[in-house]
Amino acid sequence: MTSSNDTAVLRVAGRPVGRYVTRPELPARLSPRPYLHPVTTLAGTAVTELTPADHAHHLGVGVAVPDVEGFNFWGGRTYVRDQGPTELDNHGAQRHVAFQLRDPDGFVEELRWVAAGGELLRERRTVAATELTDQAWALDLTFSLTNVTRDPLSIGSPATNGRPGAAYGGFFWRARKESSAPEVFSAGAEGEEQVHGRPADWLALRGGTWTLVFAGATEQTRRDPWFVRTEEYPGVGSSLAYGERLPVPPGETVVRRVVTVVADGRLDRDAAAALVRKAVSP
């Protein structure tokens, strides 16, 4: 992994497949945070977007949470119960502290989640890139969030604040927007309406010449429902707070791990499942 003070480049088989920006220069309203963009297939097709016109606070691939004890680490407006999306001065930021490990194919990073001048969460983020075939590789992302305050914290979402179906927050991948919406399917369902808001061992987003296959790689992660958008914009996330707020007592840690297969071509269900098995095998 080649790097500078602000960026690091992930490589698979010597090819650059992801650029990680540790200290982005962004306005506070976008909840500044490290992100991966562009992420590409092995053939070089970009499969992420950064600050797109439809949602300027979507930053490639990363971890974003709209409500940590009332602070917005997602960006943009905050959903307020009985009021709707509201502009509030409540944005937090994720600050890169240090890399504990750096290799050509990944890193371990420490981050501070800060808001209103104080640190709420300390994160350990592990990212690894692995070659699967000559047309597919896997991005393995684990994040561990520890409550470093003396008080209980909880993680929420617009859904837990009164907006049905909007349980975004956690791992999030803003995918490439094309002239037509991507297709989405899991092992047993197809289409945004059928896969959104439900747990599934894996979920595939299929574009014109590429496919992304997302898989929860721990038992707890697999229990989290998926947040899926295809028509409005292409994006997939894993919901930390779907039906109720997620408590994080003082000193306690929340851990999630998502492995994403990044493939050239339009994979069918069998091919997607086979690559996921290879990507998450022990």
> Per DSSP, what are the bridge partners of residue 115?
118
Instruction: Taking residues 8-29, report their average pLDDT.
Output: 96
Query: Residue 218: its pLDDT value, please?
Result: 97
Q: What is the mean pLDDT of the chain?
A: 96
**What pLDDT does residue 31 have?**
98
pLDDT tens column, 162-180: 999 999 999 999 999 999 9
Residue-wise pLDDT for 179-235, tens only, equals: 999 999 999 999 999 999 999 999 999 999 999 999 999 999 999 999 999 999 999
Quick one: pLDDT at residue 7?
84
| Length, in residues, of the chain | 282
Domains of the chain, earliest start first: 7-280 (2.70.98)
Q: How far apart are CA 121 and CA 134, in angstroms?
A: 39
Confidence category of residue 5, pLDDT binned at 50, 70, 90 = low
State the pLDDT confidence band at 6, using cuts at 50, 70 and 90: confident
Tokens read off for 210: 């590429």
Q: Which of 103, 139, 105 is nearest to 13 (CA)?
A: 105
Mean pLDDT of all residues in 99-121: 95
The answer to whether residue 4 scores a pLDDT higher than 60 is no
Do 122 and 146 meet the contact criterion of CB atoms below 8 Å apart? yes
Look at residue 267 and tell me whether its pLDDT is greater than 80.
yes
Q: Please say whether the beta carbons of 227 and 6 come within 8 A.
A: no
